[in-house]
Structure formats: structure tokens, C-alpha cells
């Protein structure tokens, strides 16, 4: 247990070859069987599995020191508060934010985006204004802006992307020239295509016109280093469950000046300084945006997940995942009638595909009977499906614990599926 006086630091990155066998032993779920087959988990873009350290940290919280935070003087509350705020410091260091006050804990990326849409958007966007997003967004970075525009009379503008899955930058610049754009929001990495967008360039283009930028980092955060000060984005959102942490917890990073100027997204307990029937004074950052009792154990688990990942080394993870991406792309290209969707030069470890004459749901169902878990459907990105003229896609996505042998099992079964649907 850490005392309140301890200053958390990120463990140093170790320089060693990846011990994949050892890493896999840290994930209990990978030992299970599915329909009599060893589990091959290739649905990591939806949710990653949890290492034992994270599972134990959550259990330890509930078993040994759980209590509500910030509100009690007794020992359990003091210990819970210290662990919770230690996790905030870990997040700050992990993404290189300027201060802990810029780290807001939410329930996930979706709430983080809704917070900005409701708070900043609701207080600055007026009728006739414009909000710019891209054509490759997850629904969670489309619908909140649609609701904002419907409520205010603003207009939603969409940046198109080409068939490779890359944004058309000159169209992005053209949309920002109207002088009416109040906010830009785009995905760091596409959950459907794997495209890694040129965030720094996109932010520079928007900032040259004094337009604030929100980046949806849900799919990027686990696969490459994220430095919010280097990117210079105004907001960055991500979820714990997509970076080896628990579900039900996420992060909104925001530049301090913007967060201080924004009204609260929700109101209630722990986000107030003084309450009378005549007037309420809100608490300072970050409490101002954390109304109610939070997911205390989840936040603590997220901090442990980030430490666990940092201890392995993000560059080591990225290198391993890129070999998986390259190998998968090559092997899938050998399957007759299989079409890979999204071939951007910069890609995350994710491959989406269709097979001629075979619905993705059939692909996913048959693979499941072989113990292979993938995603099949519209990927919560229906406009992206429309861009390619398909109702759905099959998607395989990787994490640190995946092996080349699992890709072989995938491809072998895809050949069987091809024969089955002849």
C-alpha cells in the first residue's frame, strides 16, 4: 500500500527481447478453452484482456482498503484516496500532461467526448457555427456532435477519406477555411480500418485558425507512445479497457485553461466547494468534472495497467504488434476472395476484411467454434461501412500476448470457410 506522501514514478523501460511465453502466463483467461479449442483472442480493438496484476489490484482494493474517496478522515478513506490520486499521477506521466489537474477520470472515451460536447460545445457553439469531424469516426465521436448541432443549430461537417483509408488533408483544410468552425474532433486511430491519422499536422492546421481540437485516442493509446504536449491537442480521450485495464473507467485530458473556463458536465457530490440554496461554488480541477462516487477500484486498476505496460516498454510492444500486422496482412492476402479494407501507410495492429459471398457474421461464428474470437459487424462505424459499400466487416486486432501461431490458426480456418461456402 502506498502512503499519501509517496510520489509515483513510471518504472524505467527495460531493454530486453520480448518474452512472449512469460507475458502470456500473466493473462489467466488465455488458458481457457472455447468449444474444446485453445482460446485465440483476436478482438483486442474491442477490449483487451487483463494481466493478473490488474486483477489483483482491483481485488486488493475491495478486499483490504476500499472506501469512498476525498470525504473521510478514517484510515480506509485515506488509503483509497491515496491510491486513486496516485493513479491520476500515473496517467499524467504516461501521456506527459502538464499537471494532474488536467486529468479527468470518466467512465470511458464515450463519456469523455460527451463531456466536451456538452460543456465546451454547449457553452461556445451557436446557430450557424460548424463542428468538423471525419468520415472514419466511431459512433461515439459522431453522435455527441450531432446532438450538439441539433440542439444549437450548428452544422456538422465531415472530412472525407480515400479508399486506402487516409484522410484527404486538403479537404480538411478547405472545411476549416469557412471561419465558422468552433471545434474539430477526430480519431487518432480508426477502429474499423486501423489508419493512424497525422494528429500533429491536423492539430497544427486547426490551431493556425484558433480552433480547439479533441482527439479520440481509444484505439491508439495501447499501441504507441502518446505525448499530449508534443501533439498539442486540446483534449485527448481514452478508455481503460482498451489498454489492459478494467472497463467502466476512462480518461479525458484537457488543457488546464480550457477546463477551467468550461462549466461542469455533471453536478452533485464531490465537485462542489460551497453549496447554499442561493448559490453553489464549484471545486477546483480536476474535481470540478468528477461528480459523484467514481469507479474507485477501476481507476486504481487503470493505474496498475499503465505501470504494467510501461514496464514492458511501449516500443517493444509496438514492434511486436507490427510484426503481427505485417504477417497477418501477408497471410490473409493468400486467401482467395478475401479483400482487406484499409491499407493506409500508417496502420495500427488491426486488419479488417470481407470475403466474397460470405457474410462477416458467418465468418465470425465459424471462427468462434474453432476457439478464435474476432469482431464481425459494422464496428460501430456505419459511415465507414457505407464508404466501402459493405454492411459489415470482419476484424482481427492484436495485443502484446498474441502469437504468429494464432494467425496461422485464423488463416487455416478461413481457408476452410472458403471451401465450405463454395
> Active-site residue 380, yes or no?
yes
Select which of 61, 233, 345, 380 is catalytic: 380
**Yes or no: domain 75-310 corresponds to CATH 3.40.50.720:** no
The pLDDT, as a whole number, for residue 7 is 38
For CATH 3.40.640.10, the residue range(s) in the chain are 75-310
Please check whether residue 278 is in contact with residue 126, taking contact to mean a CB–CB distance below 8 angstroms: no
The pLDDT, as a whole number, for residue 88 is 98
Provide the β-strand partners of residue 133. 158
The pLDDT, as a whole number, for residue 104 is 98
For CATH 3.90.1150.10, the residue range(s) in the chain are 37-46+313-416
The pLDDT, as a whole number, for residue 14 is 39
The pLDDT, as a whole number, for residue 261 is 95
CB neighbour list of residue 364: distance below 8 Å, 6 or more residues apart? 374, 375, 376, 377, 394
Half-sphere exposure of 265 (CA within 13 A, CB side): 23
**Yes or no: domain 37-46+313-416 corresponds to CATH 3.40.47.10:** no
The pLDDT, as a whole number, for residue 280 is 84
Measured distance CA(141)–CA(151) in Å, rounded? 16
The pLDDT, as a whole number, for residue 6 is 41
**Please, what are the averages of pLDDT over each run of 10 residues along the chain (422 residues)?**
39 58 97 97 98 98 96 92 98 98 98 97 94 98 98 98 98 98 98 98 98 98 98 98 98 97 88 82 88 96 98 96 98 97 97 97 98 96 95 97 98 96 86
Q: How distant, in Å, are the alpha carbons of 245, 339, 390 from that of 303? A: 8, 39, 39
Secondary structure (H, E, C), the chain = CCCCCCCCCCCCCCCCCCCHHHHHHCCHHHHCEECCEECEECECCCCCCCCHHHHHHHHHHHHHHCCCCCCCCCHHHHHHHHHHHHHHHHHHHHHCCCCHHHEEEECCHHHHHHHHHHHHHHHHCCCCCEEEEECCCCHHHCHHHHHHHHHHCCEEEEECECCCCCECHHHHHHHHCCCCEEEEEEECECCCCCEECCHHHHHHHHHCCCCCEEEECCCCCCCCCCCHHHHCCCEEEEEHHHCCCCCCCEEEEECHHHHHHCCCCCCCCCCEEEECCCCEEECCCCHHHCCCCCCHHHHHHHHHHHHHHHHHCHHHHHHHHHHHHHHHHHHHCCCCCEEEECCCCCECCEEEEEECCECHHHHHHHHHHCCEECEEECCCCHHHHHHHCCCCEEEEECCCCCCHHHHHHHHHHHHHHHHHCC
- Of 251, 249, 198, nearest to 221 by C-alpha is 251
Cis peptide before 282 (omega within 30 of 0): no
Q: Write down the pTM of the prediction.
A: 0.94
Residue with cell 468538423: 132
The pLDDT, as a whole number, for residue 10 is 43
The pLDDT, as a whole number, for residue 273 is 79
Amino acid at each position: 500500500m502506498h502512503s499519501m506522501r509517496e510520489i509515483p514514478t513510471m518504472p524505467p523501460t527495460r531493454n530486453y527481447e520480448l518474452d512472449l511465453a512469460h507475458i502470456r502466463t500473466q493473462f489467466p483467461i488465455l488458458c481457457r478453452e472455447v468449444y474444446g479449442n485453445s482460446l485465440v483472442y483476436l478482438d483486442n480493438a474491442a477490449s483487451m484482456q487483463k494481466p493478473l496484476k490488474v486483477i489483483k489490484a482491483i481485488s486488493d482494493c475491495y478486499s483490504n482498503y476500499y472506501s469512498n474517496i476525498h470525504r473521510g478522515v478514517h484510515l480506509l478513506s485515506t488509503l483509497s484516496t491515496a491510491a486513486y490520486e496516485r493513479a491520476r499521477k500515473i496517467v499524467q506521466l504516461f501521456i506527459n500532461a502538464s499537471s494532474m489537474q488536467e486529468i479527468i477520470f470518466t467512465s470511458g472515451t464515450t463519456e469523455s467526448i460527451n463531456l466536451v460536447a456538452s460543456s465546451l460545445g454547449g457553452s461556445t457553439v451557436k446557430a450557424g457555427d460548424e463542428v468538423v469531424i471525419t468520415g472514419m469516426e466511431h459512433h461515439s465521436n459522431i453522435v455527441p456532435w450531432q446532438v450538439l448541432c441539433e440542439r444549437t443549430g450548428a452544422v456538422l461537417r465531415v472530412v472525407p477519406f480515400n479508399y486506402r483509408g487516409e484522410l484527404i488533408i486538403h479537404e480538411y483544410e478547405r472545411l476549416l477555411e469557412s471561419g465558422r468552425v468552433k471545434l474539430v474532433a477526430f480519431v487518432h486511430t480508426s477502429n474499423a480500418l486501423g489508419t493512424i491519422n497525422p494528429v500533429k499536422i491536423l492539430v497544427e492546421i486547426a490551431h493556425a485558425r484558433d480552433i480547439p481540437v479533441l482527439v479520440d485516442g481509444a484505439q491508439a493509446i495501447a499501441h504507441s507512445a502518446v505525448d499530449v504536449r508534443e501533439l498539442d491537442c486540446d483534449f485527448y480521450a481514452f478508455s481503460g479497457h482498451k489498454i489492459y485495464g478494467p472497463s467502466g473507467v476512462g480518461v479525458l485530458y484537457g488543457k488546464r485553461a480550457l477546463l477551467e473556463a468550461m462549466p461542469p458536465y455533471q453536478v452533485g457530490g464531490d465537485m462542489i466547494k460551497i453549496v447554499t440554496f442561493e448559490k453553489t461554488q464549484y471545486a477546483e480541477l480536476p474535481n470540478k468534472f468528477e461528480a459523484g462516487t467514481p469507479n474507485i477500484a477501476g481507476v486504481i486498476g487503470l493505474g496498475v495497467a499503465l505501470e504494467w505496460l510501461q514496464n514492458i516498454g511501449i516500443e517493444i510492444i509496438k514492434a511486436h504488434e507490427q510484426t503481427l500486422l505485417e504477417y497477418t496482412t501477408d497471410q490473409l492476402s493468400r486467401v482467395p476472395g478475401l479483400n482487406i479494407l484499409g491499407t493506409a501507410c500508417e496502420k495500427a495492429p488491426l486488419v479488417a476484411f470481407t470475403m466474397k459471398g460470405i457474410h462477416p457474421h458467418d465468418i465470425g461464428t465459424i471462427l468462434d467454434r474453432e476457439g478464435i474470437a474476432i469482431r464481425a459487424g459494422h464496428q460501430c462505424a456505419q459511415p465507414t461501412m457505407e464508404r466501402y459499400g459493405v454492411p459489415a466487416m470482419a476484424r482481427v486486432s492484436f495485443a502484446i500476448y498474441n502469437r504468429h501461431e494464432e494467425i496461422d490458426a485464423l488463416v487455416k480456418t478461413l481457408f476452410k470457410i472458403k471451401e465450405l461456402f463454395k
